Amino acid sequence: GAVVSQHPSWVICKSGTSVKIECRSLDFQATTMFWYRQFPKQSLMLMATSNEGSKATYEQGVEKDKFLINHASLTLSTLTVTSAHPEDSSFYICSARDVVVNTGELFFGEGSRLTVL
Amino acid sequence: GNSVTQMEGPVTLSEEAFLTINCTYTATGYPSLFWYVQYPGEGLQLLLKATKADDKGSNKGFEATYRKETTSFHLEKGSVQVSDSAVYFCALRDAAAGNKLTFGGGTRVLVKP
């Protein structure tokens, strides 16, 4: 099946720094990718929809200046957590849909765990 | 708004035992329903789905039936294996809500030999 890869899988940073997380579709093209956040023992919460070549669409309550999303190519979307604080510590997951073989199925990355000290 | 509720884990059971994970939903429209599985260290994978009432999704010995009357989509497997140890997520996608996926909280299943 289609593979979505995230990097890094885990990262620890100091408060006030920025962290970039990459989401790549390895063997398919994705005009749209989705970014989720998962708190411990809680559900995945959709943060934003990343659109190739245009601005991301953020869900209500998600700060767009805090969570910068760039989708510069059909295989790469990046999420940058700016001026990270301990409350941003979480598990971030991306997903993508194959635009060519459009079965509607979403393929998920393995997730990136961010810990802000 | 839409929501998905599933039983909290962890669920611990022995190999060859019967597994049931309850899932109920609320939706404004007529959603499609999904079960995703997340094995340790891996991303979520689609396990099975059902797109309309009374449909049964099945895969790898797992089954779930879309019950509109009870707004449920319970996951079952008759005889689990150690390799079924994972976190299972129930989810819905509702066209009336922009086709976004809404997830349940996940249920961790641990199968012991």
- In tens, the pLDDT along A87-114 reads 999 999 999 987 777 667 788 998 999 9
Per-residue pLDDT band at B97 (split at 50, 70, 90): confident
| DSSP letter, residue B76 | E
Best to test chain A binding among B44, B92, B101, B107 (most A CBs inside 10 Å): B44
Cross-chain Cβ contact A105/B46 below 8 Å: yes
Q: Which of A53, A52, A87, A82 is nearest to A68 (CA)?
A: A82
Nearest to B103 among A6, A41, A44 (CB): A44
Provide the CA B79 distance to its chain's centre, in angstroms.
Answer: 16
Cross-chain Cβ contact B41/A109 below 8 Å: no
**Chain A hits for B101, Cβ within 8 Å:** 34, 44, 46, 106
Round to whole Å and give the CA distance between B11 and A17: 39
CA distances from residue B16 to B35, B80, B83, B112, B113 in whole angstroms, order as listed: 21, 5, 11, 10, 9
Asked whether the beta carbons of A113 and A91 are under 8 A apart, the reply is: yes
Q: Which of A55, A36, A56, A38 is nearest to A46 (CA)?
A: A36
Tokens of A95: 């997903």
Per-residue pLDDT band at A47 (split at 50, 70, 90): very high
- In tens, the pLDDT along B21-78 reads 999 999 988 899 999 999 987 888 899 999 999 999 999 999 999 999 999 999 999 9
